[in-house]
Structure 1
Amino acid sequence: MSSAASSPCHRLRRVALLLLVAAVLAGGTEGKAHDYGDALRKSLLYFEAQRSGRLPHSQRVAWRHHSGLTDGLEQGVDLVGGYYDAGDHVKFGLPMAFTVTMLSWSLIEYGGDVADAGELGHALEAVKWGTDYFIKAHTRPDELWAEVGDGDTDHYCWQRPEDMTTSRQAYKVDRDHPGSDVAGETAAAMAAASIVFRGSNPHYAHLLLHHAQQLFEFADKYRGTYDSSIAEVKSYYASVSGYKDELLWAALWLHRATGRDDYLDYVVDNADSFGGTGWAINEFSWDVKYAGVQILAARLLLRGEHAPRHRSTLERYRAKAERYVCACLGRNTEGGADANVERSPGGMLYVRQWNNMQYVTGAALLLSAYSDYLAAAEAGGAARAVSCAAAAEEVFALARAQADYVLGTNPRGASYLVGYGSRYPGRVHHRAASIVPYKHSREFIGCTQGFDHWFGRRGSNPNLLVGAIVGGPDRRDRFRDSRDNYMQTEACTYNTAPMVGVFAKLRRMAWLEREQGSTSVPVTVTSTAAEV
Structure 2
Amino acid sequence: MEEGIKKEQHHCTEAPKILRFAHSWCLLLSLFAISAGARAFDYADALRKSLLYFESQRSGRLPYNQRVTWRDHSGLTDGLEQGVDLVGGYYDAGDHVKFGLPMAFTVTMLSWGVIEFRKQIAVAGELEHAMEAIKWGTDYFIKAHTSPNVLWAEVGDGDTDHYCWQRPEDMTTSRQAYKIDENNPGSDLAGETAAAMAAASIVFKRTNPHYSHLLLHHAHQLFVFGDKYRGKYDVSVGVVKNYYASVSGFKDELLWAALWLYKATDNAEYLKYVVDKADTFGGIGWAITEFSWDVKYAGLQVIASKLLMEEKHKEHSHILEQYRSKAEYYICACLGLNENNGSNVERTPGGLLYIRQWNNMQYVSTAAFLLSVYSDYLQNSNQNLKCHGKMVGHEEILNFAKSQIDYILGSNPMSMSYLVGYGSNYPTRVHHRGASIVSYREHKGFIGCTQGYDHWFSRQEPNSNVLVGALVGGPDSQDDFVDQRHNYMQTEACTYNTAPLVGVLAKLLHLEDLSFDQNHSSPLVASY
Asked if Structure 1 and Structure 2 have the same fold, meaning a TM-score greater than 0.5 normalized by the shorter chain, the answer is yes
SS class of match (1:386): strand
SS class of match (2:499): helix
Corresponding residue of 1:164: 171
- Paired residues for 1:236-247 under 5 Å: 236-247=243-254
- Paired residues for 1:120-519 under 5 Å: 120-306=127-313, 308-334=314-340, 337=342, 339-378=343-382, 383-388=383-388, 389-517=391-519
In structure 1, what is the Cα distance between the partners aligned to 2:348 and 2:64? 44
Q: CA separation of 1:17/1:80 partners in 2, compared to 1, >3 Å: closer, same or farther?
A: farther
- Paired residues for 1:111-122 under 5 Å: 111-122=118-129
In structure 2, what is the Cα distance between the partners aligned to 1:230 and 1:478? 36
In structure 2, what is the Cα distance between the partners aligned to 1:137 and 1:313? 35
Query: How many Å apart are 1:391 and its aligned residue?
Result: 1.1
In structure 1, what is the Cα distance between the partners aligned to 2:178 and 2:461? 37
Describe the superposition over 1:165-207 as per-residue Cα deviations: whole angstroms up to 9, x where unpaired: 0000000000000000000000000000000000100000000
Query: How many Å apart are 1:513 and its aligned residue?
Result: 1.6
In structure 1, what is the Cα distance between the partners aligned to 2:228 and 2:299? 23
Q: CA separation of 1:480/1:174 partners in 2, compared to 1, >3 Å: closer, same or farther?
A: same
Q: Which amino acid aligns with 1:273?
A: T
SS class of match (1:86): coil
Unaligned 5+ segments in structure 2 are: 11-27, 521-528
In structure 1, what is the Cα distance between the partners aligned to 2:205 and 2:381? 25
Q: Which amino acid aligns with 2:414?
A: R
Unaligned 5+ segments in structure 1 are: 1-12, 519-532
Describe the superposition over 1:350-401 as per-residue Cα deviations: whole angstroms up to 9, x where unpaired: 00000000000000110000100110000xxxx3433442111111111111
Query: How many Å apart are 1:14 and its aligned residue?
Result: 7.7
Normalised by the length of structure 2, the TM-score is 0.92
Describe the superposition over 1:54-81 as per-residue Cα deviations: whole angstroms up to 9, x where unpaired: 0001000000000000000000000000
Contact kept in structure 2, 1:26 and 1:32, CA below 8 Å: no
Contact kept in structure 2, 1:186 and 1:212, CA below 8 Å: yes
Query: How many Å apart are 1:512 and its aligned residue?
Result: 1.2
Q: CA separation of 1:83/1:27 partners in 2, compared to 1, >3 Å: closer, same or farther?
A: farther
Q: CA separation of 1:55/1:188 partners in 2, compared to 1, >3 Å: closer, same or farther?
A: same
In structure 1, what is the Cα distance between the partners aligned to 2:39 and 2:326? 37
Query: How many Å apart are 1:27 and its aligned residue?
Result: 5.2
Describe the superposition over 1:468-517 as per-residue Cα deviations: whole angstroms up to 9, x where unpaired: 00000011100000000000000000000000000000100111122233
Contact kept in structure 2, 1:101 and 1:193, CA below 8 Å: yes
Contact kept in structure 2, 1:30 and 1:409, CA below 8 Å: no
In structure 2, what is the Cα distance between the partners aligned to 1:428 and 1:28? 33
Q: CA separation of 1:269/1:508 partners in 2, compared to 1, >3 Å: closer, same or farther?
A: same
Query: How many Å apart are 1:413 and its aligned residue?
Result: 1.1
In structure 2, what is the Cα distance between the partners aligned to 1:73 and 1:444? 22
- Paired residues for 1:73-84 under 5 Å: 73-84=80-91
In structure 2, what is the Cα distance between the partners aligned to 1:183 and 1:81? 19
Aligned-residue CA RMSD in angstroms?
1.7
Query: Percent identity, aligned pairs only?
Result: 68
Q: Which amino acid aligns with 1:464?
A: V
SS class of match (2:221): helix
Q: CA separation of 1:439/1:261 partners in 2, compared to 1, >3 Å: closer, same or farther?
A: same
